[in-house]
Amino acid sequence: MTVHYDMAINAEGWQNEETLRRLVDSVLQATLQELGFDKIDSELSLVFTNDADIREINGKWRHIDKPTNVLSFPAFALQPGQEPGEILGDIVIARETVAREAAEEHKSFDDHLSHLVVHGLLHLMGYDHQNDEEAEQMETLERKILASLGISDPYL
């Protein structure tokens, strides 16, 4: 399984690129394994930014004038379980929101960041949480993927 990704660190305070790549590599492997995609060849873009930038992006694309933890922009609309094509899409994550949520939820920054990368990847692969059934399906996958990484249930 191969997912090539570009990474941009566009804000102060993030870990160094090598540390972020190790985290992303493990999350990618666990996610693709759980979804049963062992022979895909796709591309992904990850942007590690700050609250100000993600607020601007959230306002422009979702018409919500506030920062959020993660935004996903799929390159193509997929149904859950559908094998992705050559390009997955983009994931944007805001450091301050990740840090604030991790502290509020008594989680490590890296565990919460891992959860948000999983969450973003699942959105790119057609999963959503617009209704209770979709949310349960997505959260179940998140729990399984994170457990395989030794990370406790993020919804407890």
Q: Which residues are annotated as a binding site?
A: 119, 123, 129
Determine the Cα–Cα distance for residues 40 and 106; give it in Å rounded to an integer: 36
**In contact, 28 and 67? CB cutoff 8 Å:** no
Q: Considering all CA atoms of the chain, what is the largest pairwise distance in Å, rounded to the nearest integer?
A: 39
List the binding residues for Zn(2+).
Answer: 119, 123, 129
Place of tokens 């859950």: 80
Burial class (CB in 10 A: 0-12, 13-18, 19+), 119: buried
Hey, what are 129's tokens?
């949480």
Name residue 20's amino acid. L
For residue 23, count other CB atoms closer than 10 A to its CB.
Answer: 16
Give the neighbor-by-neighbor strand order of the sheet with 70-74: 2-9, 41-49, 87-94, 70-74
